[in-house]
Structure 1
Amino acid sequence: MGGGLGGAVVCSMLVLSALLALAASQSPSQVLSPAQSASRHPTAPAARPSFPSPAAPAPRLSRPPTPAAKPSSPPPAAPAGKPSPSPRPAPTRSPPVATPPVPRATPPVPRASPPPATSPAPKPPSRPAMAPAPKPSPSVAPAPRPSSHPPPTPAPPASRTAPKPSPPLAPKQSPSPAASPPPPAPPQPPSNSTPTMSSTLGQLSPSFYAQSCPGVELAVRDVVRSASTLDPSIPGKLLRLVFHDCFVEGCDASVLIQGNGTERTDPANLSLGGFNVIDAAKRLLEVVCPATVSCSDIVVLASRDAVVFAGGPAVPVELGRRDGLVSLASNVRRNIIDTGFSVDAMAASFTAKGLTLDDLVTLSGGHTIGSAHCNTFRERFQVANGSMTPIDGSMNADYANELIQACSAANGTVSAGTAVDCDSGSASVFDNRYFANLLDGRGLLRTDAVLVQNATTRAKVAEFAQSQDGFFVSWASSYARLTSLGVKTGADGEIRRTCSSVNG
């Protein structure tokens, strides 16, 4: 009993001595160098498990210092040269969030300080004291502090990486490219995308009035239909009108101008008709699209629609013509084809206009509709003692007698003002009957009859007589070339307010 009590007293004294020694080692008055601290406690971590771990002193020994719990302030127990007696769990307990992201170009953070993950510090030292210590960070206080027990090492490496930079410094020292103002754009040359008047109006186009007057073709077509319904001779008159306009001064509506000495006063044009239809279409378009559609375009559209109304092909036409300012009777005779011309004379006239011999035969097919006065073919007859005798041996005898009866007046004279159908038996329909009649000697005008007396033109006549579709296809091409003769565009000419007179 006494021996047990004595042993207990001895054990208590030993424990008390150890506690006093530990308390003395943690006194702030003792400041030792790193070498002395390492020599006195070379095996400090190993000594902790050897104690009996009484309940009361244990928390006091293992409690970490207060600075370790505050990552924002640099801990005093993180000397740069202090050896690590045991492997430090720095990589696992130092989250990346503890180190704020610092831009590469931020000067306050020296790139010479390696992060804890790549530092050789985590390797366990072979001896308690390491001679080559890691490079001290310039931001950590150099005053070391001895400790008899291993402090919690994860926090010091995290805070040792760099002091928390001031947020406003990063944008100032390393501005992002977006923050800098963009360089001024180089001056661009002025755009020439807006078409000039010459480039816009200088080219004919089927859609020329698509924006300025989209209903132009419908308006002209309605006027032609109404007029042709009331007067079946209108289609032929409109078709003849476009020929006499385009062959003199080009397709510029110069034949429409009234006045002394104008084209309209020449004897070759005295029998022209259809002027009232053109004027009616112009008045309508001036209400819908004022000062927009030219009279020359109306003539081309009206003639095209006259063919369609008579049963011919609907062909597209180019638009954008302007009206001429000159109309002289002296220009008519040297440009118009006379009814007494031969094939060679007509071919020369067509060639001068840029048209071909095929165009001559095709456009002569326009005589499939309309009529002509008796004085236009009187050279094919001899008129004596009030009677008419055919002198053109190429004319069919029966057809000659029909013409004599139609043109003879009651008093036995020739009625010059009487009109005769150009295409016998089919004058109101636009078809290929005209060519069949030519082969049969039933051509009304001399210019019609001579087409079968030339080998080249006769072959084309025979071709069209066999194929109406072939005639219609050729008509579309030849009509387009005819209505492109001498057109005025751009700054040439004008848009007349009234087709019968120039703008005053």
Structure 2
Amino acid sequence: MASSFTKFVACLTLLALLLGTSSAQLTPDFYCDSCPGLLDAVRNQIKLAVARENRMGASILRLFFHDCFVNGCDGSLLLDDTPTFVGEKRAAPNLNSARGFEVIDAVKAAVEEVCPGVVSCADILAISARDSVVELGGPSWNVKLGRRDALTASQAAANTSIPPPTSNLDQLVSSFQAQGLSAQDMVALSGGHTIGQARCTSFRSRIYNETTIDGFFAATRQAGCPRTAGSGDNNLAPLDMQSPTCFDNYYYKNLVARRGLLHSDQQLLSGGFSDSQVRLYSGDSDAFSRDFVAAMIKMGDIKPLTGNNGEIRKNCRRVN
């Protein structure tokens, strides 16, 4: 009883603080009073989506990355193009690649049933990313909430802010530092590639032209990705061939074995400063989980819209 009363008082105190400021800080308890059923509603929909297709967990996690790297975690990636509006879905890093938007639609609909007009799409995406990791066996964390949704998007920023799979180590560090993330954050967040798949176009050059790759691994991947551009471009291969639907530290074990699928992956173990961190994570899954969680929380803090900025979208695909 005392615990429930304490939580109630905390919620009232938080609500008072939020009403008194136009730029509230993000907090895990943001919706404790206004939408107590939020977390259950999101979790149930993500469970269903991952049960239908376990690859979807990786796709949702990737949506969160690609949203946060473009003008902050504001749900701008979720906006559809219209005759008068150009969104981010057709930017090079997302075109024919970003997926899972219908899952976010389903999560939004479920949340609207329990608390209409209260929870932003940006926050729904943040929670969904966490729950996707958990559903695939990864760590959990308290997602900080209170974001509002963007009224605009930037295809140009999406084309320049999201690091491509051809990036070298210096370019990766620069891309992450531009978002306020450290080199250590970059290596930990790259571990998200322990789940999911990539298209042949993303790794063709590596498996045919690079020498920093295990020969057997390259031959295995060549079987499904012809050398000629335009042939099999959309054929998929797992980013982690050992356990592609399990969130674990095999991504780093693969790098040690020179079996990183993308050029940008293998760059993390290429004789540079990040080698020691990769080797640490390859042998210590707890260290990877701890640092991944810390980096995900930090990434979620990138330039959120709060207070009176932005809006709470009724439909994640369009502004109100």
Computing the radius of gyration from Cα coordinates, the structure with the larger value is 1
Measure how far apart 1:200 and its partner are.
7.3
Instruction: Give yes or no for contact 1:198–1:491 (8 Å, CA) kept in 2.
Output: no
- Partner secondary structure for residue 267 of structure 1: coil
Q: Which blocks of at least 5 consecutive residues in structure 2 are unaligned?
A: 1-14
Equivalent pairs, count: 302
Q: Which amino acid aligns with 1:406?
A: G
Matched letter for residue 240 of structure 1? R
> Between the two proteins, what is the percent identity of the paired residues?
37
Equivalence for 1:440: 257
Query: Are the counterparts in 2 of residues 198 and 489 from structure 1 also a CA contact under 8 Å?
Result: no
Which residue is equivalent to 1:342?
168
Q: 1:402 aligns with which of 210, 220, 232?
A: 220
Aligned pair partner of 2:210 in 386, 392, 399: 392
C-alpha spacing 1:198/1:249, structure 2 compared with 1 (3 Å): farther
Whole-angstrom distance in 1 between the partners of 2:219 and 2:263: 16
Counterparts of 1:266-305 in structure 2, within 5 Å, are 266-270=91-95, 271-305=97-131
2: CA distance, partners of 1:412 / 1:379: 10
Name the amino acid aligned to 2:94: N
Match of 2:188 in 1: 362
Q: Which amino acid aligns with 2:165?
A: T
Could you tell me whether the CA contact under 8 Å between 2:268 and 2:274 is conserved in 1?
yes
Letter in 1 for 2:125: V
Match of 1:78 in 2: none
- Amino acid of the structure 2 residue aligned with 1:320: G
Note if contact 1:198-1:490 (Cα within 8 Å) is conserved in structure 2. no
Q: Does 1:327 align with 2:145?
A: no
The structure with the greater share of residues assigned to helix is 2
Of structures 1 and 2, the one scoring higher in RCO (CA 8 A, sep 6+) is: 2
C-alpha distance after superposition, 1:65-120 (max 9, x if no partner): xxxxxxxxxxxxxxxxxxxxxxxxxxxxxxxxxxxxxxxxxxxxxxxxxxxxxxxx
Q: CA deviation at 1:328?
A: 2.2
- Residue from 90, 103, 111 that aligns with 1:265: 90
- Aligned partner of 2:70 in structure 1 is 248
Letter in 1 for 2:187: V
Counterpart code for 1:394: T
1 CA distance for matches of 2:71 and 2:294?
A: 21
Long gaps (5+) in structure 1: 1-192, 382-389
What SS class does the counterpart of residue 223 from structure 2 fall into? helix
Instruction: Supply the distance in 2 between the matched residues of 1:448 and 1:355 (Cα, whole angstroms).
Output: 17
2:252 touches 2:281 (CA, 8 Å); kept in 1? yes
* TM-score normalised according to structure 1 size: 0.58
When residues 220 and 194 of structure 1 are mapped into structure 2, their CA distance, relative to the original with a 3 A threshold, is closer
Alpha-carbon separation, structure 2, partners of 1:248 and 1:412: 29
Change (3 A) 1:493 1:198: farther
CA shift, 1:309, in A, is 0.3
- The residue correspondences of 1:176-255 to structure 2 (distance < 5 A) are 194-195=16-17, 197=19, 199=21, 202-255=24-77
Name the CA distance, whole Å, in 1 between partners of 2:25 and 2:109: 25
For residues 210 and 195 of structure 1, the distance between their equivalents in structure 2, rounded to whole angstroms, comes to 14
Alignment of 1:9-24 (within 5 A): none
Cα root mean square deviation, aligned: 1.7
> How far apart, CA to CA, are the structure 2 residues paired with 1:472 and 1:407?
32
Q: Distance in 2 between matches of 1:447 and 1:258?
A: 29
Match of 1:42 in 2: none
